[in-house]
Structure 1
Amino acid sequence: MSMPRPSPVLWITGLLVAILGLALGAGGVWLIGMGGSWYYLLAGAGFLLTGALLIARRPLALWVWAAVVLGSLGWAVWEAGLDWWQLAPRGWLVFLIGLWLVMPWITGGLAGAPGERPPGVLRGAGLPLSLSLLLALAVGGVSFFADPHDRAGTLPGPRAEVAADDGVPAGEWHAYGRTHEGQRFSPLERITPGNVARLEVAWTFNTGDVRGPGDPVETTYEVTPLKIDDTLYLCTPHAWVIALDADSGEERWRFDPKVTDELALQHQTCRGVSWHAAEEAAPDATCARRLFLPTPDARLIALDAETGEVCRSFGQDGQIGLWENMPFTQSGFYYSTSPPVVAGGLIVIGGAVNDNVSTTEPSGVIRAYDVDSGELVWAFDPGNPDLTVPLPPGRTWTPNSPNSWSIMSADEALGMVYVPLGNAPPDQWGGNRDPAVERFSSSVIALDLATGQLRWAFQTVHHDLWDYDVPSQPTLIDLEIDGQTVPALVQPTKQGEIYVLDRRTGEPVLPVEERAVPQGAAEGDRTAPSQPVSALSFDPPPLEESDMWGATPFDQLWCRIAFRGLRYEGRYTPPSTRGTLVYPGNFGVFNWGGVAVDPTRRALFATPAYLAFVSRLIPRQDAEERLVTEESDVPLNENLGAPFAVELYPFTSPLGLPCQAPPWGYVAGADLETGQIAWMHRNGTVRDRAPVPLPFKMGVPDLGGPLMTAGGVAFLSGTLDYYVRAYDVTTGEQLWEDRLPAGGQATPMSYTGADGRQYVLVVAGGHGSLGTKAGDAIIAYALPDN
C-alpha cells in the first residue's frame, strides 16, 4: 500500500490555520483571565485542530471546521443579534477559510480510508461544512438588510405660528445661529422635500486661506457666514474677514488682522463674526454698520461692514486687547474662537484657554463692551460673581475659572444673555478647585444683559472630571407646556443630555433627576454622588465587552482585552492611573455645532455622535516636568502644578478603528414639548476614512451643526465623509447629497438672493484634528433658475 503524496496546498493551509489558532488561543487565555469571553480560546482550539488535520490530510478537518463555523455563527448572533456590522467582523475570516476548504484543491487532497477516493464538496465531510456556510451566508444576507439601530417615526408638523424675530428679514442671517436665539432655523420655504433633489451648485468661492507649516493641528474651518442685505460676511481660520456678493460669490473686500506669529495655540479657527447696525446713524455714516472680529492673538476688532476698514473710534484705534486685567498672560493661551453676542448696545464676549496646560491659566471672565465706544461696561468673574464692575489697573480676574469658548445667546426682551461654561482646569483632576469657582463649572448661566449680574445658573455636571464642558450655544424657543407658553432654553451637552429649561428662572421644563454615579476618584480628589439626567437624553447604553469591534477577529480580541483592562463602570467612571474608559468621550455626543430647532414644530434636529475615549492619569513627582509632551510642543494635558498629567486618546484598535461597534453617528428628531425622540437613523459613510473608499453607511460622527428650514428640509455637512446632505424633517429620510471638495465641519446657513432663489451655503475647509481633507471652499446651492 502506498502512502498519499504530501500536498503543498494542504500543508500550507493547515500551517496558516494553526498559526491563526495559536494567536486566537493565546489571546483567548488572556481574555479569560480577565473575566472575558471563552469564544476565542475555543475558536483557537478549533483552528489548531483543523490545521493539524489538514496537514495530516484527514477529512475530519472539514467536520471540525463546520463546527467552528456553526459555533462562531451562534456566538455572534447571541452577542450581536442581526447587526451586520457586528456579525461581519466576527465571521468573515471563518467564512472565507471555510470557502477555501470546500474547494476541490483542498477536498481532492484529503485522504480517506485505504481504497476510498477523496470526498467531494457535497459528499462526506464536505457536506456539513457546505451546509454551515450556506446557513452563515443566509444569516449574513438577512442581517445586511436589517438595521437594529434604526428608529422610525415622525415629528409633528407646524403647530404654532411664529412672528418675525429680532427684526431679521426672512431671507437674511444676522448672527451665528441666524438670530440671538441661536435656533439655526431659516423661515424660507422654497426648498421642499419634493424639489430638494434638484439642488445644484450656484457658485463656489475659494478664500485662499490654507493651512501652513506652523499652524497647530487643529486648524479648522468652522465658520457660519452672515448675510445682511446683499452681502455675505465670513472669517477664515487665520481670522481674515471676507465680504462676498450673495448672488455671485464675487469678493467685495477682505481684511487681514495681521495676527501675531508664533502663537502657542491649541485651536486655530474662527466660527464667525458679529454684526451691528447703529439705530440712528445716517445712511452714509462711517462704521454705522459694523462687524466684530475676535482674533487668535486675543483682540476684538471693529470693521466697517461696507468697506472692511477698521473703525478707529472703537476701543484703542479700532480694537480691544482681551489680555487686559487677565492673570498669567502668555501668548496664545487665551483667545476667542467664537463670535461675541451683540445685544442691548453691548458686545458680550468670552474666550478659550489651552486645555489642561497648568494650574495657572487665564480667567474665564465674561466681559461686555459698549458697542460704539468699546468701553468696558461690566465683567462677570466666576470666581467673584458679585463684583461685575470693571477692575482698576493692576487687578486681575480669578485665574483657572470656567471659561466660555462657545457661542452665547440673548433674550433682549427679558434682558438676559445666556452663557455656556466650561470646566475649571485641569479637567480630569479637581482636588484643588475653589468651591466658589466650581459652582459654575460645566454650567449654563443667565446674566443680566445690562449689568452682568447673575440671574440663574444650571449645572449640567457636578464636579466635572471628564471634560464635559457645555460646548454648544443655548437655543431659545417658546414651548406650550400644560396650556401655558413657556420661554424655554434648550441646552445640548457632551454627555448626551438635552436640558430644556425655563429661560426666565433656569428651572427644568422637561424633568431632570439626580442619579447615583460611580465613585472612587484619584488620590486627593472626590466624586459627586449623583449627576443630573434629563427626560430628553441621547445618552447611549453602557458599553459591554460584546460591543467591542474590529475589522478582524484579532483586533476585536485586542479591543476586548483593552476594554477589560480599563476601569469602566458606566458613564461618569472617575479618571484613574489604571486608565478609565470615558463614554461618551469628550468629543461629545453634541459639540459646538449644537442642534437646530424649528419653532413652528417645536422640535429639534440633532446629530448625536458616539465615540469612547481613554483617560489615564500620570502621577508627577515634579510639578514642572513634562510627562506627555515634547519640549517643542504646547504642553497640552501636562497639568503643570497638579499631581497628575493626563493622557487622552480615542479608544481605538491597533488598526486605528474605533474599538466600539458602529454606528458612531446619527441624525435624530425629537419633540421638545414631550421630550420624546421621534426618529433616529444612522448617518454618513466611511468612504473617506476607510483604506478602500467604499461608501458603507455605518453611521459616522458629525462635527458642525445642522440647519432646519420652514420648507421641511434639514441640511448637514459636518460628517467625516465629504458630503452635504438634505433630510426630510418629518421622518429623517435622506433626500439628497452632494460631494464636497473637503471636510465640511461647519454649520450650513440659508438666505434669499436678489433673484428670489433660496440659497443653502456650505463651508468646506476641513478639520485638522479630525483628519478631514483641508480646503478653502465656500459653496452656494440653489434650485435651477427654471
Structure 2
Amino acid sequence: MCSIDARRIATTAGLILASVFAGAQNVNWPYYGGDQGGMKFSALTQVTKQNVSQLKLAWEWKTDEKDLKEFATKPGVFEATPLVVDGTMYLVTPYNRVVALDPVTGKEKWSYDPEAYKDGQPPNGTGFVHRGIALRKDSATGTYTVYLNTRSTLLALNAATGKLIPTFGKDGKVNLLEGLRWQVDPKRYTNTSPPVVYKNLVIVGNGVGDRLMYKQDPPGDVRAYDAITGKQIWSFHTVPWTGEYGADTWKENSNEYTGHTNVWAPMTLDEKRGLLYMPVSTPSNDFYGARRKGMGLFADSLVCLDAATGKRKWHYQLVHHGLWDYDPPSPPSLITIKMAGKTINAVTQPTKQGYLYTFDRVTGKPVWPIVETPVEQSTIKGEESWPTQPIPTLPEPIAPQGVSLDDAFDLSPELHAEAIERLKTLKLGPLFTPPSYQGSMMRPGILGGANWGGAAFDPQTGMLYIKVNNMAAVAKLGIFDHTGPRAKEVDSDYVTEGRTNGLFHDGLPIVKGPYGLVTAINMNTGKKVWQVPFGDDAEMRANPALKGLKLPDKLGAVGTMGAIVTKTGLLFVGGGDAAFHALDVVDGKDLWTFGTKVRTGGTPMTYMIGGKQYIAIAVGSGDSASLMVFTL
C-alpha cells in the first residue's frame, strides 16, 4: 500500500501526529500524556458508548521479568504507558528495559537492557518501576531517537534498531551523577518518570528514597541536556544555592545540605510558549523538618521554567514546610477553561491532599483565590511547623479530607465500635494535622488523593476526570536508634512511619470506604459534577472479619494510575484491582469491564493503525506483568 505525505491534523486536544495511507488511517500516541501538556485526551471516535461492550483482547505481551537473586532485585508493578509513532510501539518495563513492538500483533522488534538491576533494588519505596520513555523526531532526517532515564543514567537509542547512539554522551550514555552539588551513591538515585523533550533538549528530574534522612541526600536538581551530544545545557536547583532566589526561605543555612526536593512525577510542557511545568516534591525527610526549618522553596511547589534556559518564570508553593509526604505527585495538566466569557490557558496541579491548584499557566496567577489558612502546630521537639497552609476556594476537593470518629470503619456494628476505640488512641483532626509521637491520622494518606496517574481532561466540555484514593494513614514519629547499623549514615533524631495498612482488625482499613473513587470536576466552574466508587478489593472482601456480612457492590480499590478520556465520551481507567474499565463520562457508569486476573498498573493509551483503534494498558508485576491491547 502506498503512503502519502503525513500531515498534521489539528484537534481540540492539540496536535496529534497522523499519517494517512490509502484506505487506512494511523493516529499516534507520541507522548506519555497523549500530548506534551498531559491532557490524556484522544480524538479517536471508532470506539463509542454504543460498541464499547464489544471490545476484545487483540494481543498480550509479557515482560517475562523475574527476581534476580544475584542482585537481590525484584521487578515491581508494570506502570508504563506505551508510545506509538509511525507503526511502532515503544515501552519500558519494570527493570527499565526498552522494547519496540508491532502495535498490531505485539511481536517484538527489538529490546535494549540497560542492566539497571546491577545497582541493586532502588530505595524509592516502589522498587523497580518505570512509567515511560520519550521520543524525539529529527526534523532533517525524520528519524526518531528514544530517550530513557534509568537509575543514574540518561541514554539515547536509535528508534529503528534499539542500538545506543554513540555520539550522545559517552557511547550513548550520560552519567546523571556528574555535576551534582555533592557526591551521590548511585544506589540512592533513580528515575521513574519519562524525560521531557523540547526542541534540542532532553529534560530530566529524578527519584529518591523518602524515609531515612541521610547526612547528604541526593539533590533534586532538574537538568537539561543537548539531545544530540548529551552535553548539560542548564540546571535548576530545586533547593536554591546561597545567593539564589529562595535561599533565604531555608533557616540556619539548611539549603547547604538538604537533599531530595526532587521532581519524580512526570513534567509537562507548553511547547508553543516554551514553558516547562515541574511538580517539586518534599525535602528529606517527609514527616520531620527540624533539620530544614523555614518555608523551604521550591519544595512542594509547582514551578514554571523557561524550557530553553531553565530560568524560573513563576512558582507557587502548595505546602509550606511539608510534614505529610504531600508532595505534588501528578503531571500538571495544561488545560483551557472558560469563565465569564473569557478563555484562560491554565495549568492545574492535582495533589495528594485532594486539591486541584489551578493557575494561569503564563502568569502563575491563581484562577480562583487560594487562602492561607491557620493549621494546627506541631508539638515535636525542635520542629517549627508553618502556621498556615494554602487552601484553594475552588475547585472543590477531589477526595475526602481529615479524620474524625464519624469516619470509623462501618461494615458491621462490632467492627465499627472496635474501629472507634482504635481511633481514640490516635490523634484525629482536619487536613494538615501534624505528625506526632502518638500517631496522627491523615486522610488522604501518603498515596493521596491524587497520585502519579494524574487527571484526564476533555477540551470539548471543560470536564476533568481523576482516579483518587480514600485510604487514611498514620504519621508517627519514633526515636532513631543512634547505635544501630545506619547510625553513621543517618542524620536525624527521629524515624517516621506513613503506614496505610495494619492499622486495624486483620489489616482492614480503620476508616470507612469506598477506598477508590473517580471524581469529575467542571473546570469552567470548579464544581464537582459526580463522584463514584471505583474498583474493588478482592483481598479485603475475603478478610475473615467480613465473612457473612452484606458488603457494598464496590468497596473501592486503591490505585495510583490515571485515566484517558475520548471524544466519544468514554473514560478508560484501571482501578488498582484486577479489572480494566470504560466509564460513561456523563455519570461514571461502568459501560465495560474486562477482568485482567492481576492488578492493573499503568495509565492506558489509545492509537489507530490501519484504520483500527486500539486501547492498551499495563497490568501485573513481576512474572505476571503484561501489556494488554484491546480492539473491536
**TM > 0.5 between the two?**
yes
Matched, 1:238 2:95: yes
How far has the Cα of 1:256 moved from its partner?
Answer: 0.8
SS at match of 2:177: coil
Q: 1:669 matched to which residue of 2?
A: 520
Deviation for aligned residue 1:695? 8.8
Partner Cα distance (1:242, 1:561) in 2: 52
1:419-469 per-position Cα deviation (integer Å, ceiling 9, x unaligned): 011011111111121648x11111110011111111111111111100000
Match of 1:168 in 2: 17
The answer to whether structure 1 residue 347 and structure 2 residue 176 are counterparts is no
Equivalent residues of 1:381, 1:398 under 8 A apart: no
Match of 1:512 in 2: 370
- Establish whether residue 478 from structure 1 lines up as the match of residue 336 from structure 2: yes
**What CA distance in whole angstroms lies between the structure 2 residues aligned with 1:521 and 1:640?**
23
Aligned position for 1:250: 107
- Following the alignment from structure 1 to structure 2, what is the Cα–Cα distance between the partners of residues 434 and 370? 36
Match of 2:47 among 178, 185, 191: 191
CA contact (8 A) 1:606 1:669 kept: yes
**1:708 equivalent in structure 2:** 565
- Give yes or no for contact 1:415–1:448 (8 Å, CA) kept in 2: yes
Alignment-derived partner of residue 726 in structure 1: 582
Name the residue aligned to 1:294: 149
Measure how far apart 1:165 and its partner are.
2.6
- Partners of 1:475 and 1:491 within 8 A in 2: yes
The alignment partner of 2:469 has SS state of: coil
In 1, Cα distance between the equivalents of 2:101 and 2:491? 48
Partner of 2:466: 606
Change (3 A) 1:318 1:399: farther
1:562 aligned partner: 422
State the distance in 2 between where 1:374 and 1:218 align.
Answer: 29
Q: Which amino acid aligns with 2:499?
A: Y
- 322, 329, 333: which one aligns with 2:176: 322
Task: Provide the residue aligned with 1:580 in structure 2.
Answer: 440
1:328, distance to aligned residue in structure 2 (A): 4.0
1:506-552 Cα deviation digits (max 9, x unpaired) = 11113322222112341111222221122112242532223212666
Percent of residue pairs identical: 31
Which residue of 589, 613, 636 maps to 2:449?
589
- Looking at structure 2, the residues matched to 708 and 468 of structure 1 have their Cα atoms a distance apart, in angstroms, of 26
How far the C-alpha of 1:741 sits from its partner, in A, is 3.1
Structure with greater helix share of residues? 1
In structure 2, the partner of 1:30 is: none
Query: 1:547 corresponds to which residue?
Result: 407
Report SS of the residue matched to 1:505. coil
Supply the distance in 1 between the matched residues of 2:238 and 2:536 (Cα, whole angstroms): 42
**The one of 284, 288, 307 aligned to 1:425:** 284
Which residue does 2:5 correspond to in 1?
Answer: none
Alignment of 1:398-477 (within 5 A): 399-433=258-292, 435=294, 438-477=296-335
* Partner amino acid, structure 1, of 2:534: N
Alignment partner of 1:499 is 2:328? no
Contact 1:423–1:441 at 8 Å: present in 2 too? Answer: yes
1: distance between equivalents of 2:399 and 2:539? 27
2:159 aligns to what?
A: 305
For 1:691 and 1:257, locate their aligned partners in 2 and report how far apart those are by CA, in whole Å.
Answer: 40
Distance in structure 1 (CA, Å) of the matches to 2:35 and 2:401: 35
Q: Give the structure 1 partner of residue 511 of structure 2.
A: 660
CA positional deviation for 1:365: 0.3
Deviates more, 1:588-597 or 1:663-672: 663-672
User: Is the contact made by 1:364 and 1:399 (CA closer than 8 Å) also made in structure 2?
Assistant: no
- Residue 720 of structure 1 and its aligned partner are, at CA, apart by 3.3
Which amino acid is the alignment partner of residue 300 of structure 2? Answer: S
C-alpha contact 1:417 1:447 (8 A) present in aligned 2: yes
Higher RCO (C-alpha 8 Å, min separation 6):
2
Which of 646, 650, 657 is the matching residue for 2:500? Answer: 650
Task: Report what 2:625 is aligned to.
Answer: 776
For residue 383 of structure 1, what is the amino acid of its counterpart? Answer: V
In structure 2, how many angstroms separate the alpha carbons of the residues matched to 1:217 and 1:533?
40
* Gap runs ≥5 in structure 2: 1-9, 19-25, 246-254
C-alpha contact (below 8 Å) 1:184/1:707 kept by paired residues = yes
Return the alpha-carbon distance in structure 1 between the equivalents of residues 498 and 402 of structure 2: 20
Identify the range of structure 1 (208-217 vs 527-536) with the bigger mean alpha-carbon deviation. 208-217
Query: In structure 1, what is the Cα distance between the partners aligned to 2:612 and 2:552?
Result: 32
Q: What letter matches 1:315 in structure 2?
A: G
Evaluate the alpha carbon distance shift between residue 732 and residue 493 of structure 1 in structure 2; reply closer, same or farther with a 3 A threshold: same
Kindly indicate whether the alpha-carbon contact (under 8 Å) linking 2:519 and 2:532 is maintained by their aligned counterparts in 1. Answer: yes
Give the corresponding residue for 2:224. 368
Which residue does 1:85 correspond to in 2?
Answer: none
**Whole-Å Cα distance in 1 between the matches of residues 194 and 401 of structure 2?**
35
Deviations 1:36-82 (A, max 9, x none): xxxxxxxxxxxxxxxxxxxxxxxxxxxxxxxxxxxxxxxxxxxxxxx
Contact 1:356 1:639 in 2 (8 A): no
User: Please, which moves more after superposition, 509-518 or 243-252?
Assistant: 509-518
Runs of 4+ in structure 1 deviating by more than 6 angstroms, as ranges, are 385-388, 692-695
Range with bigger deviation, 197-206 or 645-654: 645-654
2:192, 2:264 within 8 Å by CA — same for their partners in 1?
yes
Contact 2:220 2:259 in 1 (8 A): yes
The 3 A distance-change label for structure 1 pair 312 and 292 is same
Question: Hey, which of these two has a bigger chunk of strand by percent?
Answer: 2
Show CA shifts across 1:546-583 (max 9, x none): 32126665554442222111112221111111111111
- Supply the AA of the counterpart residue of 2:279: P
For residues 368 and 311 of structure 1, the distance between their equivalents in structure 2, rounded to whole angstroms, comes to: 18
Asked if the contact 1:471/1:494 (under 8 Å) is kept, the reply is: yes
2-structure distance, mates of 1:662, 1:212: 38
Report the Cα distance in structure 2 between the residues aligned to 1:240 and 1:492, rounded to whole angstroms: 29
8 Å Cα contact 2:463/2:521 also seen in 1: yes
- Listed as ranges, the matches of 1:23-172 within 5 Å are 162-163=11-12, 165-166=14-15, 168-169=17-18, 171-172=27-28
Counterpart amino acid of residue 515 in structure 2: W
Residue identity matched to 2:165: C
Amino acid at match of 1:421: V
Query: Does the CA contact (< 8 Å) of 1:237 and 1:268 recur in 2?
Result: yes
1:751 paired to 2:601: no
Counterpart of 1:668 in structure 2: which amino acid?
T
> Residue 541 and residue 316 in structure 1: after superposition, are their counterparts in 2 closer, same or farther (change >3 A)?
closer
Q: Look up the SS of the partner of 1:261 in the other structure.
A: helix
SS at structure 1 position matched to 2:277: strand
- Partner letter of residue 297 of structure 2? R
Structure 1 residues without counterparts, runs of 5 or longer: 1-160, 389-395, 769-773
1:177 aligns with 33
Return the alpha-carbon distance in structure 2 between the equivalents of residues 361 and 264 of structure 1.
17
Q: Secondary structure at the match of 1:562?
A: helix
Aligned residues: 591
Q: Distance in 2 between matches of 1:680 and 1:215?
A: 42
| Closer/same/farther in 2, CA of residues 757 and 405 from structure 1, 3 Å limit | same
Q: 1:611-636 deviations in whole A, cap 9, x for unaligned?
A: 111121112363xx44xxxx6xxx7x
Q: Deviations over 1:453-493 (max 9, x none)?
A: 11111111111100000101011012222322211001100
Q: For 2:407 and 2:75, locate their aligned partners in 1 and report how far apart those are by CA, in whole Å.
A: 30
Give the structure 2 partner of residue 9 of structure 1.
none
Corresponding letter in the other structure for 1:653: F
Residue identity matched to 2:506: L
Partners of 1:226 and 1:232 within 8 A in 2: yes
2:12 and 2:378 map into 1 onto residues whose CA distance is 52
- The AA in structure 1 aligned to 2:274 is G
Give the CA deviation at 1:689: 3.9
Contact between 1:638 and 1:646, CA under 8 Å: does it hold in 2? no
Instruction: Write the distance in 2 (CA, Å) between the matches of 1:276 and 1:715.
Output: 27
Which amino acid letter does the alignment assign opposite residue 196 of structure 1? V
Q: TM-score, normalised by structure 2?
A: 0.89
> What is the root-mean-square deviation of aligned Cα atoms in Å?
2.4
